[in-house]
Amino acid sequence: MSNIDISTVDLNLLKIFEALFEEGGASRAAIRLDMTQSAVSAALRRLRDVYSDTLFVRTGRGLAPTSRARELKPVISEALDGCRLSLTISAPDAKTFYGRAVSIGLSDDIEIAVGPKIMDAVSRRAPGLRIIFRQTYSQIVSDSLANQEMDLAITAGGLASRGLGHKVLGEGGYACLVDRSSFKDSTNELTIDEYVERGHILVSSGGVVGIVDEALATLNLKRKVIGSTTHFAGLPFLLKGSRAVATIPQHAAVAIANMTGLQLLACPLVLPRYSIELGWRNSSLRDAAIVKVQGAISECFSNPA
């Protein structure tokens, strides 16, 4: 392929590429960009000519990026972020951020617990700014940040990589959830015997053995896992009407109990606590929108009530 003269390329196409990649469809990208769908489709044809690749293929759920599009995404996003940063430098004291979005990578237990608080704090600190929550976990978070897949991340570790900054937001522990109708103890205490006797719902991104199993092993005990799920949002439906127990991060257990009426109980095991950290790319610190969201997140963890 011969070199393309950048002076012949409409750089607005890069914004359209980003929207197509992140929204997964021409109609949604058109709404995001306030364009007609036909204009977005025409732009996609031009993008395919520029990059000599299909870039996006139609599926039953919209448009899926090709391997070339995935290779291009961090490069294009970095270029667009540079343009946005140049505008931020010229207006460092911006009071409104309409049209801007900042993405936060986090696990769904943290999203359940503090997502609403983050949105509220951002709406006060940066009117008009849209927050995008993206699912991540500690094993992949560094690569996701470095590859421009998210602007910030809230995670339990995994942020010690070159080019990334991080700070500790707080400390987390664990608690148990059960169906209230299955627990009649007026002391609201779950004994270790009852804990082991009940079936367990495991929340895991892929593992089979967790810290609960390790703690039980030190007592020569084992639990019976009757079901597993990869996300916390399904727990109320899996626990309701059963005698099962779920042991999950305390911040999520409190939020789910408040919302659903499930019984919140202290875990009868001594489990290790862990740090909750906020991470970012060091190169993004001059972006006022990202700095505003950093402050909003820190506020939410400083004032957990």
Whether pLDDT at 142 is above 50: yes
Identify the structural domains of the chain with CATH numbers, from first to last. 6-78 (1.10.10.10), 99-170+275-302 (3.40.190.10), 174-272 (3.40.190.10)
Cα(176)–Cα(141) distance, integer angstroms: 27
Contacts of 136 (CB under 8 A, 6+ apart): 105, 106, 107, 144, 150, 153, 155
- Helix (H) or strand (E) segment spanning residue 301: helix 288-302
Beta bridge partners of 264: 177
Whether pLDDT at 148 is above 90: no
Whether pLDDT at 303 is above 90: no
Indicate the average pLDDT of the chain: 89
- Helix (H) or strand (E) segment spanning residue 164: strand 164-172
Do residues 262 and 180 lie in contact, with contact meaning Cβ atoms separated by under 8 Å? Answer: yes
Cα(156)–Cα(170) distance, integer angstroms: 10
Per-residue model confidence as pLDDT tens digits over 251-273: 999 999 999 999 999 999 999 99
Cα of 101 vs its chain's centroid, Å: 14
Per-residue model confidence as pLDDT tens digits over 196-251: 999 999 998 776 788 899 999 999 999 999 999 988 999 999 999 999 999 999 99
Whether pLDDT at 1 is above 50: no
Reported as a pLDDT band with limits 50, 70 and 90, residue 86 is confident
The predicted structure's pLDDT at residue 14: 93
- Helix (H) or strand (E) segment spanning residue 249: strand 245-249
